[in-house]
Amino acid sequence: MQTQENHHLTTIIDALLPLLRAFCRGEYGIALGGAHAKGVDDAESDIDLYVFTRDILPAEARQQRCAAIPAITGITSWGNAGALVQAGTDFYYNGVKIEVWFRHIDYISGIIAECQRGIVKQELVTWTVMGFYNHCALSDLHYMHPLDDPFDVLAHWQTAVHHYPPQLRRAIIDRHMHAAQFWPNNFHYKSAVERGDSIYTCGIVQQVIHNLIQVIFALNEAYFPGDKKLNIALNHLSTKPERCVERIHNLLYPGADVGPPQLRHQRQTLVALTDEVAALATAIGDTTQSEVN
Same domain as 186, residue 151: no
Same domain as 174, residue 113: no
Same domain as 155, residue 10: yes
Residue 13: give its domain's CATH number.
3.30.460.10
Same domain as 182, residue 152: no
Same domain as 248, residue 124: no
**Per-residue pLDDT, 153:** 96
- Range(s) of the domain holding residue 282: 166-292
Q: Which of 160, 182, 202 is the last residue of a domain?
A: 160
Q: How is 29-49 classified by DSSP, letter by letter?
A: EEEEEHHHHHT---TT--EEE
Same domain as 117, residue 189: no
> Is 90 exceeded by the pLDDT of residue 83?
no
Category of 67 on φ-ψ map: left (φ > 0), alpha (ψ -120 to 50) or beta: alpha
Instruction: Please tell me the least confidently modeled range out of 17-31, 41-55, 78-92, 188-202.
Output: 78-92
Residue 219, Cα to own-chain centre: how many angstroms? 16
**Per-residue pLDDT, 290:** 39
Q: How is 222-251 classified by DSSP, letter by letter?
A: -----STTHHHHHHT-SSS-TTHHHHHHHH
Q: How is 204-224 classified by DSSP, letter by letter?
A: HHHHHHHHHHHHHHHHTT---
**Per-residue pLDDT, 289:** 42
Same domain as 196, residue 146: no
**Letter string b/e over residues 121-144, b meaning 16 or more CB atoms within 10 A of that residue's CB:** eeeeeeeeebebbbbbbbbbbbbb
Closest by CA to 72, choosing from 31, 101, 100, 52, is 100
- Torsion angle of C-alpha atoms 103, 209, 143, 153, degrees rounded to 10: 30
- Mean pLDDT on 137-155: 96
Backbone angles phi, psi at 130, to 5 degrees: -105, 15
What whole-number percentage of the chain has pLDDT above 90?
81
Number of separate domains in the chain: 2
Same domain as 86, residue 151: yes
Cα separation, 103 vs 120, in Å, equals: 19
Query: Where does the pLDDT of residue 2 fall: very low under 50, low under 70, confident under 90, or very high at 90 and above?
Result: low
**Per-residue pLDDT, 292:** 36
List, in order, residues 6 or more apart from 205 with CB less than 8 Å away.
Answer: 251, 252, 266, 270
Number of C-beta neighbours around residue 281 at 10 A: 21
Q: Which of 118, 136, 160 is the last residue of a domain?
A: 160
pLDDT digits (tens, 9 = 90+) for 238-285: 999 999 999 999 999 988 788 999 999 999 999 999 999 999 999 977
> Is 90 exceeded by the pLDDT of residue 79?
no
Q: Which H or E element spans position 169?
A: helix 166-182
> Is 80 exceeded by the pLDDT of residue 224?
yes
**Per-residue pLDDT, 201:** 97
> Is 50 exceeded by the pLDDT of residue 174?
yes
Q: Determine contact, residues 97/46, Cβ cutoff 8 Å.
A: yes
Q: Which of 128, 160, 192 is the last residue of a domain?
A: 160
> Is 50 exceeded by the pLDDT of residue 1?
no
pLDDT digits (tens, 9 = 90+) for 176-220: 999 999 999 999 999 999 999 999 999 999 999 999 999 999 999
pLDDT digits (tens, 9 = 90+) for 47-64: 999 999 999 999 999 999
Same domain as 252, residue 220: yes
Query: 228 or 74: whose pLDDT is higher?
Result: 74
